[in-house]
Chain A
Amino acid sequence: MITFWINGKKVEGHPGEMVLAVAQRHGFEIPAHCHHGGVEPFGSCRLCVVEITHKDWKGWKGQVTSCLYPIEEGLEVTTESAELLQVRKVLADLLLARCPDAPEVQKLAAQYGIAKSSYSEHPDRPLCTLCTLCVRACEAIGASALGTAGRGPARKVGTPFDLPPEACVGCGTCARICPTHAIDCTEDERVRTIWKREFSFVRCDVCGRPTLTEAYRALLSERSGLSVEYFKRCDQCKRDEQAKAFSQIVR
């Protein structure tokens, strides 16, 4: 266990853990837009910036993104200060300049008292904040169909060569995890359309209700070692089957 300090309070964390993860576990509120506990930290929004210092550092202190800073013994972390507030304000201002139409970004900026960005707005007014949660979630699932392309202002999240991605399984996690709902995902009874590709649904073998996509079923089957046949039923029918089976066994 590593012992260090957050806002003067003694906290403990495991070696290799990041400052933000430990802080959140101990109930400290640090703003973060691109952070998600389930995927690798990335540090794109930089809102989780904190001040660090150490008694051995001879008075030196610095600002780091807490999601990417590994904890160390005796570290002294400050999560709120006038300087930090100023940094976060600028970051929120910049985010709003990029995504003026995203309600979630507007809400974030409003927390810092910004209604309209003081920077010139992005001409395309994208909804994507480049937080890359979709990219990281896709990696976690095992599809790795997404990535970022380009640099600077031209940087964007997308599929290789902007083509319908071969590796995508149409699970829809990217669209669900996106904090600004920037990913188009539509579905009807038959297919889910995402990243310009259509994925047909597996249908429940009892009631015919669509469940997961066929490609996602193949991926899950491969990952878990279960046969494709295992994923043939919808939740409702699974429960019906369980109820019938159990009522015969137990009284």
Chain B
Amino acid sequence: MKRYIVTPSRCTACRSCELACAFRHGSMGLPGKTRIRAYMIAEGRHMPLTCLQCEEAACVKVCPVGALVRNEQTGAVDVLDAKCIGCEACMAACPFGAMAMLAKPDSGPTAYKCDLCGGDPACVLFCPTKALQYVEPPRRTQSPR
């Protein structure tokens, strides 16, 4: 399985990833609804942040209706829109602030998060400095945790 690898030293906080993310997911044309954010911590120190797809994810545990499930193909935790009742429990539970709510035109708001674009992350495609990569992990990182 490919891994999403972030190399902060390469990030220039150009925020191409944010735009790529917002456009890939439709997000009704709102770049503010991105699922990845490039942070400027200090001059020359940047950090792209998105969902870590935790192995023991707090959001999955706290969801009362089973709307958050692990996608076995991508390894991402996916939101099943049809099941999400918008209770915001996952938002409160996520220790990294990676979960948010998206208003929908024909139903109540549902949770949204990084889904690794189903295995082809747009942010990786548009990152000019390769700070974001989606690759087969090198052998040494494949050891079981």
Contacts and interface: CB of A to CB of B under 8 A. Distances in A.
A38 B47 contact: no
A232 to B, nearest CB: 10
A224 B62 contact: yes
Given A24-B82, A137-B87, A177 B92 contact: no
B82 A38 contact: yes
Max chain B C-beta neighbours (<10 A), residue from A176, A223, A224: A176
Interface string A224-236: 1010001100111
Contacts of A141: 64, 85, 87, 89
Contact of B8 (A137, A173, A179, A251): A251
B80 interface: yes
Contact of B109 (A176, A217, A236, A240): A176
Interface stretch (B22-30, B95-103, B122-130): B95-103
Contact of B80 (A37, A173, A211, A224): A37
A20 B85 CA distance: 18
A236 B97 contact: yes
B137 interface: no
A250 B6 contact: yes
Interface residues of A, number: 40
Summarize B's interface: helix, strand, loop or mixed.
Answer: loop
Contacts of B76: none
A19 to B, nearest CB: 16
Contacts of B8: 246-247, 250-251
A251 B47 CA distance: 9
Chain B interface extent, by class: 35 or more
B69 interface: no
B2 interface: no
B108 A177 contact: yes
Contacts of B61: 224
Given A38-B85, A140-B85, A177-B86, A212 B95 contact: no
B65 A173 contact: no
Nearest to A212: B92
Nearest to B37: A239
B9 interface: yes
Contact of B39 (A36, A176, A243): A243
Nearest to B62: A224
Summarize A's interface: helix, strand, loop or mixed.
Answer: helix
Interface in A133-153: 137, 140-142
Given A24-B82, A38-B82, A238 B65 contact: no
Contacts of B91: 235
A157 B96 CA distance: 37
A154 B97 CA distance: 44
A133 to B, nearest CB: 8
Given A140-B64, A236-B97, A38 B83 contact: yes
Contacts of A246: 8, 47, 49
18 contacts: A36-B82, A38-B65, A137-B87, A141-B87, A172-B88, A173-B88, A220-B93, A224-B61, A224-B62, A226-B58, A234-B97, A235-B94, A238-B95, A239-B39, A239-B98, A243-B49, A247-B46, A250-B7
Interface of B: 6-9, 37, 39, 41, 45-47, 49, 58, 61-62, 64-67, 80, 82-89, 91-100, 107-109
Interface of A: 24, 36-39, 137, 140-142, 171-173, 176-179, 211-212, 216-217, 220, 223-224, 226, 230-231, 234-240, 242-244, 246-247, 250-251
